[in-house]
Amino acid sequence: MFRKLALADRALSSMMFAAVILAIFALALFISAQGIKKKNSVMKAQIEQMTALKDYVRKVNDAVKSQERKMGLTKAVGAVSAIEQSLNSLGLKAKTIKPAGMKNIGEFREEDAEMVIEGMDLNKTVNLIYKIENSVLPLKIKTANIKTTFENPDKFVVNLTVTLIRKMGTEK
């Protein structure tokens, strides 16, 4: 009887030992699963941030490509001919258009041209400035000097310095 009790006691203790080992293993798995869940939620947040950044980068990339296409589409040989194209489209004639210099900035080249137009009314002046600023060609107005004429205060003498921006290597 004592032997039976001892055997039963050993079987019970081995089962208890196995149960304790199983409980420790289950606890370790639970803690590990919690850590994996935390890492998973952090990675999901990072993926959401990266997706937002990816969309932003695509928008910026599209804008850059659009501007590069505009810069590549220039039929004008230089700033002077670009200004002449803008003036011709509005039916205007400049008194003088002359090149004012070139400047290299990084991978871009800025070519300046000065123009003087006399006898402009306010509407034509606004239309010219709008046409230059919203041109297909990458033009920008560096300086603008608008004076009224002595004979007729409704007419203006417009003196503009306009810059044509090009990517290096696209000059013809």
Whether 116 maps to a domain, the answer reads yes
pTM for this entry: 0.54
Amino acid of residue 19: A
Q: Find the helix packing angle between 79-90 and 122-133, rounded to 10°.
A: 130
Number of domains in the chain: 2
Chain segment 12-66, per-residue pLDDT in tens: 788 888 888 999 999 999 999 999 999 999 999 999 999 989 999 999 988 888 7
CA distance linking residue 53 with residue 41, whole number of Å: 18
Whether 127 maps to a domain, the answer reads yes
Whether 112 maps to a domain, the answer reads yes
Task: Return the CATH number at 103.
Answer: 3.30.70.60
Angle at 126 between CA 122 and CA 129, to 5 degrees: 140
Task: Using the 3D structure, point to which of 37, 72, 107 is the last residue of a domain.
Answer: 72
Are both 40 and 110 inside the same structural domain?
Answer: no
Which DSSP string do the residues of 74-139 spell out, in sequence order?
---SSHHHHHHHHHHHHT---SEEEEEEEEEETTEEEEEEEEEEEEE-HHHHHHHHHHHHT-SS-E
Are both 58 and 133 inside the same structural domain?
Answer: no
pLDDT, mean over the chain: 84
Are both 95 and 40 inside the same structural domain?
Answer: no
Given the DSSP bridges, would you call strands 139-148 and 108-120 parallel, antiparallel or unpaired?
unpaired
Are both 67 and 83 inside the same structural domain?
Answer: no
Given the DSSP bridges, would you call strands 156-167 and 139-148 parallel, antiparallel or unpaired?
antiparallel
The enclosing H or E element of 162 equals strand 156-167
CA distance linking residue 74 with residue 83, whole number of Å: 12
Which pLDDT score is estimated for 57? Answer: 92
Which residues, 6 or more positions from 103, have their beta carbon under 8 angstroms from its beta carbon? 109, 110, 112
Which pLDDT score is estimated for 1? Answer: 54
Task: Using the 3D structure, point to which of 26, 53, 72 is the last residue of a domain.
Answer: 72
Residue 31: give the domain boundaries: 1-72
Task: Using the 3D structure, point to which of 51, 72, 93 is the last residue of a domain.
Answer: 72
